[in-house]
Structure 1
Amino acid sequence: MSLIKSISGIRGTIGGKAGEGLNPLDTVKFVSAYATYIKSNKTDNSNAIVVGRDARISGKMMEQLVIGTLMGMGFDVVNIGLATTPTTELAVAMEGAAGGIILTASHNPRQWNALKLLDSNGEFLSAKAGEEILTIAEKEDFHYAEVDQLGKVTEKDYTDKHIQAVLELALVDVEAIKAADFEVSIDCVNSVGGIVIPKLLKALGVRKVNELYCTPDGNFPHNPEPLPEHLQDIANMMKTTSSDVGFVVDPDVDRLAIICENGDMFGEEYTLVAVADYILSHTKGNTVSNLSSSRALRDVTHKHGCEYYAAAVGEVNVTTKMKEVGAVIGGEGNGGVIYPASHYGRDSLVGIALFLTHLANEKKTVSELRAGYPQYYMGKQKVELTPNIDVDKLLEAVKEKYSQYEITDIDGVKIDFPDKWVHLRKSNTEPIIRVYSEAHTQEEAMQIGGEVMNVIKELAR
């Protein structure tokens, strides 16, 4: 059993002893801590918390625990039921709520669930807020409401409102999509994407939708992380239908993978690159991604005469940087598109609508569109160390070793070589350094990552 407490939320496996998994006792404790934090930091009179969940099997149990705890803390609850992460984020803002809780373990397998915590803007909490909530939970300093002050529950469905908000975006061209007469295949991994993505595609004017795994019952038919090795079923569907494009989402629909018309992977890293290319062709401005995302976004940004900025890994770090530099588009290389004209959160619905508009305007196949972007390949490795190694000191030594190159140290150490890069990040849970690398071929990416790994091992002696 696992229970991971971090500043971004509480994640764990269902079952086991208290403190060893995300069980009822721990769920109540952390929701009580979140409610205590919200109550003491509210700046307006809102007394509502929005609750939404993905379709995983433990969702209904978690929903009842969370809603009951919030009522016990004196908060009114707007329960939007089965809803995507971005839908819940939008609902918080539309309701003028004090905060929100999303019940989803995102791309983790079916035995996992999590509490994703939002502020009154419908955005993930800051690191400082997350730390404060963990402290409150540890002290268990909660004050529950008296019987006459218990909260109430209202049930609402925000799916259609989210779709309508996407349709109203200025750069979503429904008429162009209709005229393109697209056939689209989708894999929604039997979660909430199966509810919203077919409705979105119909609203966008897609001629035909081939649905794969769209029953929202939480029985994931494959590993729910949308990586190439997990997506052979939709790749085969693309080859046996006349689909123009395929879309794959994770269980909470904040990550978007694209499949080419021939069944090839477009590449998760390139979801953001393609959408940014379209946005920048109409709206000049800055872009942001995290340090471990592809250099292709920087290249495309510069092609449009705009500036690219890097952020530390983590959605809240990306959105913070986007606000700081006034970015018009940003996100993460895991297929996460963040479009401020909609909201500051990864949103696959927005990504799909903008990508289809781009595809319709370009009048190319998806594989032709992909071939027009800078070609990069990524390697992911790790260096295992002994527990007594001072990892921070080791990373400083690596910085010194490569000081003749461009170094970024806002999150580990990233070394930018002229035609490739290596990013080193220490694990918070085990004595390892994660090594991400990127170059123009897979072989080069693994090679440069291996070279830096050898340097780390030598310095660690």
Structure 2
Amino acid sequence: MTLIKSISGIRGTIGGKPGDNLTPIDTVKFAAAYGTWLKSYSKSDNLKVVVGRDARLSGEMIQNLVVSALVGLGIDVIDLGLSTTPTVEIAVPLEKANGGIILTASHNPKQWNALKLLNEKGEFLDAAEGAIILEIAEKEDFDFSEVDDLGSIIKNDAYIDIHIDEVLELPLVDANTIRKAGFKVVVDGVNSTGGIAIPKLLESLGVEVIKLYCDPTGHFPHNPEPLKEHLGDICELVLKEKADFGIVVDPDVDRLAFISNDGEMFGEEYTLVACADYVLGKTPGNTVSNLSSTRALQDITLKHGGSYTAAAVGEVNVVAQMKAINAIIGGEGNGGIIYPQSHYGRDSLVGTALFLMLMAERGGTVSELRKSYPAYFMSKKKIQLTPELNVDEVLVQMAEKYREEKHSTIDGVKIDFANSWVHLRKSNTEPIIRIYTEAKTQSEADSLADRIIGEIREIAGI
């Protein structure tokens, strides 16, 4: 059982002892810490916070605890109920709220949940703000309101529809163009809120939808991380239904992956590449992705005459870099699309609409589209952390070992070779070291990852 306290929020497994897991006591403490920080930060007497959750089994319990803690601090709550991460993000500014909390452990299995914290723009808090909240929680420095000053709860279950309307109004999205293409698409919603939002969006665009695991029960039918090894069912169904492609999202709908018409993975890394290709073709400009993302985005950006910049892993870091260089699209190679014309957050609804526009205008099949992009293959592996493993020292030694190669230490260690790269970093969401590699063939990427893992184990003596 695990509790991870980070600048981006609190994430843990349900049950167990307070301080070791995400128990009701920990949930209330961190919700109260966020509310306490917000009261100081906002300098307002009438605070309002938007709260929404994915469909995981602990969601209703966690939401009741969070909402009650905020109400106890005198903060009004806009309760979206079942929602998505990007939906909560767009709701915050639309509601003129002071902040937001998304209750989701994203791609983690069902025993996990988390509080993801937003500012008044509907964007994730930065490191300094997150550190203050952790300090408030540690000290339990709370001052709850008296009975006449308690906050109120306003339920609003219309925001997924509002979100869809916002997507349809984007200048680069034309519903008639998509409708005329007559697409047939299979959707795997992993029995969470993507099973509500993505089919609704597709139907509004005239797409024929075949639903797979779209009942938001929270009983995930497979590991909810949208990776190839977890997606055999939708790959088979795309072939069986002779669908144009398949769509897979994670439980909170900020990661987007496609299945090609031939039942093969389009490649989670290439979701951003394809969406950027469409956007850059209409509105040339700059792009950003994180250090663990494919080189193909850089290739496509240069092809369209723009410039590419890499940021540290983490949505807040990518967003900061996008703002710094005025990027017109960016995101993360895990299928996260950030399109500022909509909002500064990873959004699978926006990504789906942009991809549909690309396919509708370009024609051909999804597998043909994939073959048109630069061919890179990625390996994503990990090493489980143990108390004896000094991760920081391991990364220092790996950087020293490859000091003659081009490398970056802004986020772990990334080593760029002529035709491949490796990125080593400690995860912010799980007790693991992530080892990402990319090369011109899958076997080369896997071999590089295995070699680096062996070197790490040798250095660490494990």
Cα deviation for residue 129 of structure 1 reads 1.1
| Residue 173 of structure 2 is aligned to residue 172 of structure 1 | yes
In 1: Cα distance, 2:432 partner to 2:154 partner:
46
* Aligned CA distance change for structure 1 residues 64 and 123 (closer, same or farther; 3 Å): same
Tell me: CA distance 1:77–1:210, structure 2 relative to 1, closer, same or farther (3 Å): same
Q: Aligned equivalents of 2:66 and 2:428: distance in 1?
A: 28
Residue 154 of structure 2 aligns with which residue? 154
> Contact between 2:436 and 2:449, CA under 8 Å: does it hold in 1?
yes
Q: Percent identity?
A: 62
Which SS does the other structure have where 1:247 is aligned? strand
What SS class does the counterpart of residue 346 from structure 1 fall into? coil
Structure 1 residues 147 and 433: CA distance shift in structure 2, 3 A? closer
Residue identity matched to 2:445: A
Q: Hey, what's the Cα distance between the residues in 2 that align with 1:70 and 1:51?
A: 10
Cα deviation, residue 451, structure 1: 4.1
Say if 1:406 and 1:205 are closer, same or farther in 2 by CA, change over 3 A.
same
Q: Map 1:154-233 onto structure 2 (within 5 A).
A: 154-156=154-156, 157-206=158-207, 208-233=208-233
Assess if the C-alpha contact under 8 Å between 2:179 and 2:205 holds in 1.
yes
The answer to whether the 8 Å contact 1:46/1:97 transfers is no
Aligned length: 460
> Counterparts of 1:432 and 1:196 in 2: how far apart (Å)?
32
Distance 1:261 1:70, change over 3 A: same
Tell me if the contact between 2:4 and 2:430 (Cα under 8 Å) persists in the aligned partners. no
- The answer to whether the 8 A contact 2:11-2:429 is kept is no
Secondary structure of the residue that 1:378 maps to in structure 2?
A: strand
Aligned to 2:253: 253
User: Aligned runs of 1:128-147 on 2, under 5 Å?
Assistant: 128-147=128-147
Q: State the alpha-carbon separation in 2 of the partners of residues 101 and 143 from structure 1.
A: 20
Post-superposition shift, 1:434? 3.6
Q: Give the whole-Å Cα distance in 1 for the aligned partners of 2:42 and 2:418.
A: 48
**Aligned ranges for residues 18-57 of structure 1 at < 5 Å?**
18-42=18-42, 47-57=47-57
1:239 maps to which residue? Answer: 239
The aligned residue for residue 357 of structure 1 is 357
Contact 2:51 2:67 in 1 (8 A): yes
Alpha-carbon contact 1:86-1:347 (below 8 Å) kept: yes
Rounded Cα–Cα distance in structure 2 between residues aligned with 1:28 and 1:184 = 41
Q: 1:73 to 1:165 in 2, by over 3 A?
A: same
Written as runs of structure 1 = structure 2, the 5 A alignment for 1:25-424 is 25-42=25-42, 47-156=47-156, 157-206=158-207, 208-382=208-382, 391-424=391-424
Look up the SS of the partner of 1:221 in the other structure. Answer: coil
Displacement after TM superposition at 1:28 (Å): 0.8
Aligned residues of 1:387 and 1:431 also touching (Cα < 8 A)? no
What SS does the corresponding residue of 1:209 show, helix, strand or coil? Answer: strand
- The answer to whether the Cα contact below 8 Å between 2:46 and 2:75 also exists between their aligned partners in 1 is no
Q: How many angstroms does 1:289 deviate by?
A: 0.8
Secondary structure of the structure 1 residue equivalent to 2:334: coil
Residues 222-254 of structure 1 deviation map (CA, whole Å, 9 limit, x = unaligned): 111111111111111111112111101111111
Contact 2:398-2:456 at 8 Å conserved across structures: yes
How far apart, in 1, do the equivalents of 2:181 and 2:386 lie? 57
For structure 1, which segment, 420-429 or 147-156, has the greater mean C-alpha deviation from structure 2 after superposition?
420-429
Partner Cα separation in structure 2 for residue 259 and residue 244 of structure 1: 9
Deviation string 1:434-459 (CA, Å, 9 cap, x unpaired) is: 43211011111123334444555666
Indicate conservation of the 8 Å contact 2:59/2:103, yes or no: yes
Paired residues of 2:384 and 2:431 also in contact (CA < 8 A): yes
Supply the distance in 2 between the matched residues of 1:134 and 1:433 (Cα, whole angstroms).
Answer: 23
TM-score in terms of structure 2 length: 0.95
Cα drift, residue 394 of structure 1: 4.6
Opposite residue 14 of structure 1, the aligned amino acid is I
Distance of 2:108 and 2:68 partners within structure 1: 25
What amino acid sits opposite 1:224 in the alignment? P
Q: Distance in 2 between matches of 1:200 and 1:429?
A: 30
- CA-to-aligned-CA distance 1:65-122 (integer Å, 9 cap, x gap): 1111111000011111111110001000101101011111111112221111111111
Partners of 1:236 and 1:430 in 2: CA distance: 31
Aligned partners of 1:235 and 1:264 also within 8 Å: yes
Say whether the 8 Å CA contact 1:375–1:440 is kept in structure 2: yes
* Contact residue 288 and residue 329 of structure 1 kept, 8 A: yes
Q: Which runs of 5+ in 2 are unaligned?
A: none
Counterparts of 1:367 and 1:113, CA distance in 2: 35
Cα distance in structure 1, aligned partners of 2:317 and 2:190: 28
What is the letter of the counterpart of residue 31 of structure 2? V
Structure 2 SS opposite 1:257: strand
User: Cα RMSD (Å) of the superposition?
Assistant: 2.1
Q: Is the 8 A contact 1:110 1:220 kept in 2?
A: yes
Given that 2:292 and 2:423 are in contact with CA atoms closer than 8 Å, whether structure 1 keeps it comes out as: yes
What displacement does 1:331 show? 0.6
Matched AA of 2:27: T
SS across alignment from 1:305: coil
Whole-angstrom distance in 2 between the partners of 1:407 and 1:379: 19
**SS in structure 1 of the partner of residue 115 of structure 2:** strand
Aligned residue for 1:115, secondary structure, equals strand
Shift in CA distance, 246/457, structure 1 to aligned 2, threshold 3 Å = closer
Separation in structure 2 between the aligned mates of residue 339 and residue 103 of structure 1, nearest angstrom: 23
Is the contact between residue 46 and residue 96 of structure 1 (CA under 8 Å) also seen in structure 2? no
Q: 1:457 to 1:361 in 2, by over 3 A?
A: same
Shift of 1:2: 2.0
Whether the 8 Å contact between 1:59 and 1:103 is mirrored in structure 2 is yes
Amino acid corresponding to residue 315 of structure 1 in structure 2 = E
CA distance in 1, matches of 2:386, 2:46: 50
Counterparts of 1:243 and 1:388 in 2: how far apart (Å)? 50
Q: Deviations over 1:348-371 (max 9, x none)?
A: 000000000000111010000000
Q: What SS does the corresponding residue of 1:354 show, helix, strand or coil? A: helix
CA shift in 2, pair 1:18/1:454, >3 Å: closer
Secondary structure at the residue paired with 2:229? Answer: helix
In 1, Cα distance between the equivalents of 2:438 and 2:124?
A: 29
Letter of the aligned partner of 2:167 in structure 1?
V
